[in-house]
A and B are shown apart, each in its own frame.
Chain A
Amino acid sequence: MVQSQQESETLEPVAGQSQSDENVLAARNLSVWYGNFRAVRDINLDVKRNSVLALIGPSGCGKSTLLRCFNRMNDLVLNSRVEGQIIYNGTDLYAPSTDSTEVRARVGMVFQKPNPFPKTIFENVAFGLRVNGFKGNLQEAVERSLRQSALWEEVKDRLNSSALELSGGQQQRLCIARALAVEPEVILMDEPCSALDPVATLAIEDLIRQLVAKYTIIIVTHNMQQAARVSHETAFLMVGEDRAGYLVEMDATDKIFTNPSHEQTEAYITGRFS
């Protein structure tokens, strides 16, 4: 891995935080505020290494906000504030010494709508490598990422044409390749299939199941069947009386979808939620 060759400049271990090797990420009493509004409240959860965690819940339950804590994308939102900790391999991502750009090179992200840069296919994948000062063989690294995202065969003859020529599904796989290029440990996906047709959606889902051998994936989805198909564990978030999102329960995905412990989860996944 690219990362392991390089020592972290800013990620420092948290004192007294022993984390088992099994978990790559953990949220501890995490709350996110936008100004005076608390978007999510007191989240505690662990993300197992090489697994897919699905975040589900009604609109406004803060699942995207929670997702964006794991790579500090919430920093970009004006007046946002995070309380509590995100522990990544024993280091606190929100410690004052931690550099958010280093976090994002280790925790990649794929967005709701495919958003390739208006550059060539090659340059899209190479972007993360270039901005992070990659010194190895760029061609090889780009090819490897495109192969991992099952796109290589489709684009190998037109690496220098615009990424915007690709179909929506291909664009989203390109965005995944772009995120994979720097070989992060974790990939966050924010409703990655909501803008895609069913065939492209299933292709992405296949890809997610393949990638989990090497990466840890956290996916936000509105599509319950998708969460059921791709994830190992599912976390259900709800909106509280105070409009803050909170974690109702997190469990093995088959448990959540056949026999959830909480009545609220049951109501939500069976469509009885009002």
Chain B
Amino acid sequence: MPRVDFERDLRQLQDDLLFLGSMVEKAIAKALDALKRRDFSASQEVLEEDNIIDRKRFEIEEKCIDLIATQQPLARDLRILITVLHVAVELERMGDYAEGIAKISLNMGDEAPLKPLIDIPRMGELAAKMLRQSLDAFVNRDIVGAHSVSEADDEVDALYEQVYRELLTFMIEDPSKVKRATYLLWVSHDLERIADRATNIAERVVYLVTGKLVEMKTSKY
């Protein structure tokens, strides 16, 4: 009894999750790009597309619950479903951070960014890469890949610290820049959180493969 239907549903569910991942990845890139180009309509689109991400996440959750209720999954099947359930939540939260960045961009209005955006897009790229890597590790059941995600998080943390100090200096030197500095601080904070959540996904991959729940690395932030 190879459980053909259940196998198909499990595969479909994992495909759905990867699709959600690609949506989130696009949202992050688009939000940063819109911020950089001061493109309000693009930011607006990110806000709207986040609703689709939210719906997709619930869809995945419901499918997981259905399968748990009807198929009594055990062992690897159970771990796959639990992992998908958690990762879907992580991805949806990442989507919310992208939405947050889009909102900041809209709030900034006509004000020019405090400084040219160099480190922040770099953070964004790193975070997006971590997300890709963590999902690749999920697909390939790859513990080594999962660990490299948590190592990349150090880099993001380092960049975040750098951006933070820089913006702090701006604020101390000239209190009138506090508002504009804060906008960027929020953006960089959102990106740092995205990277942390990619690490969470990597932790779930470790659970999926080994059955062990481990905290990979405590982020400084």
Give A residues with C-beta under 8 Å from B. 224-225, 228, 255-260, 265-266, 269-274
| Complex contact B1–A270 (CB within 8 A) | no
Whether the Cβ atoms of B74 and A228 lie closer than 8 Å is yes
Would you give the shortest CB distance from B1 to chain A, in whole angstroms?
6
Residues of chain B within 8 A (CB-CB) of A274 are 1-2
**Complex interface: chain B residues within 8 A of A228 (CB):** 74
- Which of B1, B6, B75, B212 meets A266, CB within 8 Å? B75
Interface check B142, CB cutoff 8 A:
no
With known contacts A258-B211, A259-B210, A259-B211, A270–B2 Cβ distance under 8 A: no
Bound CA–CA A259/B75 (angstroms): 5
Is B115 an interface position by the 8 A CB rule? no
How far is A61 from B68 in the complex, measured between Cα atoms in Å? Answer: 28
At the interface with chain A, which of B44-52, B76-84, B170-178?
Answer: B76-84
Q: Which label, helix, strand, loop or mixed, suits the secondary structure of the A interface?
A: helix
Asked if B72 and A269 make an inter-chain contact with CB atoms under 8 angstroms apart, the answer reads: no
Q: Other than the known A258-B75, A272-B1, A272-B2, what 19 A-B pairs have Cβ atoms closer than 8 Å?
A: A224-B74, A228-B74, A256-B75, A257-B78, A258-B78, A258-B211, A259-B76, A259-B210, A259-B212, A265-B75, A269-B74, A269-B75, A270-B3, A270-B76, A270-B77, A271-B1, A271-B3, A273-B1, A274-B1
Establish whether residues A225 and B79, one from each chain, have CB atoms under 8 Å apart when the complex forms.
Answer: no
B1-40 contacts to A, CB under 8 A, are: 1-3, 6
CA distance A255 to B75 in the complex (A): 9
Point out the residues of chain B lying under 8 angstroms from A257, CB to CB: 74-75, 78
Question: A258-B78, A259-B79 are known contacts. Are A225 and B72 too (CB-CB below 8 A)?
Answer: yes
Question: Which chain A positions have C-beta within 8 A of B211?
Answer: 255, 258-259
Q: Which residues of A contact B6 (CB under 8 A)?
A: 271
Please, which residues of chain B bring their CB within 8 A of the CB of A255? 211
Q: Which residue of B lies closest to A256 (CB)?
A: B75
Please name all residues of chain B whose beta carbon is closer than 8 Å to the beta carbon of A269 when the two chains form the complex: 74-75
A264 nearest CB across to chain B (Å): 11
Chain B residues in 8 Å Cβ range of A258:
74-75, 78-79, 211
